[in-house]
Amino acid sequence: MRMLRKNKPEEMTHADKRAQLEQVMRHENSSILELDGKEVSVFTPSKPREKWLRKRTHVKLRNVTANHRINDAIANEDGPQTLTGRFMYGPLDMVTLTGEKVDIHIMTQPPSGVWIYFDTEISNSSGRISYVIPENKRLGIGVYPVKMVVRGDHTYADSYITVLPKGTEFVVFSIDGSFAASVSIMGSDPKVRAGAVDVVRHWQDLGYLIIYVTGRPDMQKQRVVAWLAQHNFPHGIVSFCDGLVHDPLRHKANFLKTLITDLHMRIHAAYGSTKDISVYSSISLPPTHIYIVGRPTKKLQHQCQFITEGYAAHLAQLEYNHRSRPAKNTTRMALRKGSFGLPSQPDFLRKRNHLLRTISSQPTGASGNASHRPERTQSQSESDRERERERSQRSMSIATGCWGRSAASKLESGTLGQK
């Protein structure tokens, strides 16, 4: 009895946190209808679940977690508007979704929350789909949430398509080179360089489109975007490599060249490490507009501007010396001013994320041993998956603010708690 009494307060504390979480989740769901003063509908798949087209698919997907992702798309109003996604399962993309239906939805009038079904595509042998928006359905200038749903199990991926006029100016940030103070963004709690978020927000406030580039494979999109969201980085386009590549710097350069030559965009400034200097120089960006974090060297001192005293001092110089001017394009009203996550990050969402991280670190008694296994290897019952999926879709329906959360199918402590 003494042992029971001794353990009781700990158990009640854990239960209280669960109850708090449920209350926060109810608060979140009720707040969906009040986003930006307009009604936002909960996303509901337009097509019911169907049997897999291939019999092997059911066996292949047993006890694996979805890791779907959609590339952030950029297009001109009068040019082709293409969406590309890849649908994979398991750690390190062990299982490919081959020959199955994927339904494409776009919120054409954000923030109304009305999702429009556009079409259904069949994934190819590498799990990819590519969809060109028909000419009669082309989107005007703006930022539009995209959701692709796998017909067979209703797992999904989220992203955005940004439609811009020619001449749009942008500022580039290399994620690892500019922001991460630790060696790897995938560490337990990778630190952000002090003042980095303020510098990005400074350029966003001036009307520039923010472009984030990384040499990391797209299979890491969920974690990297979650890391950006955790630290409230401003909204922007994130470019990943298409899988593991031998020359990530070339990928960065080719991506930026595409923006400049094919979409007629204009780069104004770029941030990164010394490795990125060659990338930015290859697109004819002058040294005065290349900002590099690190110690200056004689060899490179004429090829860039070194940020030696931190981002706070750099931001002060930008403002004092008038080295940053407002963007010359007319897209400032169309571009999002929020951060990753909700535009204003309400208290209830921050509290929910904190609770989820706290609960995920709590012991679970008899089932504690199972909780230490990798989440992706644990099986779930269909009813549990369905409940989590519905809860996740309610959260993701705040899509006008849930920027780029290329989540799979579930809202779970393991996902939101990743660092």
Q: pLDDT tens digits, residue range 88-132?
A: 999 889 999 999 999 999 999 887 778 999 999 999 999 999 999
Query: What are the pLDDT digits (tens) for 229-251?
Result: 999 999 899 999 987 777 889 99
Average pLDDT over residues 66-81: 95
At 389, the pLDDT band (50, 70, 90 cuts) reads: low
Q: Are residues 282 and 411 in the same domain?
A: no
Q: Are residues 138 and 212 in the same domain?
A: no
Domain count, the chain: 2
Tokens 């698919």, located at residue: 57
Q: Are residues 136 and 213 in the same domain?
A: no
How confident is the model at residue 326, as a pLDDT?
82
Are 272 and 285 within 8 A, CB to CB?
Answer: no
Task: Look up the pTM and report it.
Answer: 0.72
| 82 domain residue, yes or no | yes
| 41 domain residue, yes or no | no
Q: Are residues 252 and 391 in the same domain?
A: no
Separation CA 374–CA 205 (nearest Å): 41
Q: Are residues 137 and 62 in the same domain?
A: yes
Question: Alpha carbon of 316 to those of 185, 323, 336: distances in Å?
Answer: 27, 10, 24
| 376 domain residue, yes or no | no
At 183, the pLDDT band (50, 70, 90 cuts) reads: low
Q: Are residues 292 and 274 in the same domain?
A: yes
Q: Are residues 186 and 306 in the same domain?
A: yes
Are 240 and 228 within 8 A, CB to CB?
Answer: no
Domain CATH number, residue 358: 2.60.40.1930
Quote the DSSP letter at residue 339. Answer: B
How confident is the model at residue 120, as a pLDDT?
98
**Burial classification of residue 136, based on how many CB atoms lie within 10 Å of its CB (0-12 exposed, 13-18 middle, 19 or more buried):** exposed
Q: What is the mean pLDDT of the chain?
A: 76
Separation CA 93–CA 183 (nearest Å): 24
**Strand-pair partners of 66:** 89
Q: Are residues 126 and 178 in the same domain?
A: no
| 6 domain residue, yes or no | no
Q: Are residues 136 and 261 in the same domain?
A: no
Q: Are residues 189 and 295 in the same domain?
A: yes
| 23 domain residue, yes or no | no
Domain CATH number, residue 269: 3.40.50.1000
Average pLDDT over residues 332-342: 62
Domain encompassing residue 388: 55-163+341-370+382-416
Q: Are residues 294 and 194 in the same domain?
A: yes
Quote the DSSP letter at residue 175. Answer: I
Q: Are residues 96 and 178 in the same domain?
A: no
Are 160 and 129 within 8 A, CB to CB?
Answer: no
Average pLDDT over residues 347-358: 41
157, two tokens = 């991926």
Rg of the chain over all Cα atoms, to the nearest angstrom: 22
Are 194 and 311 within 8 A, CB to CB?
Answer: yes
| 326 domain residue, yes or no | no
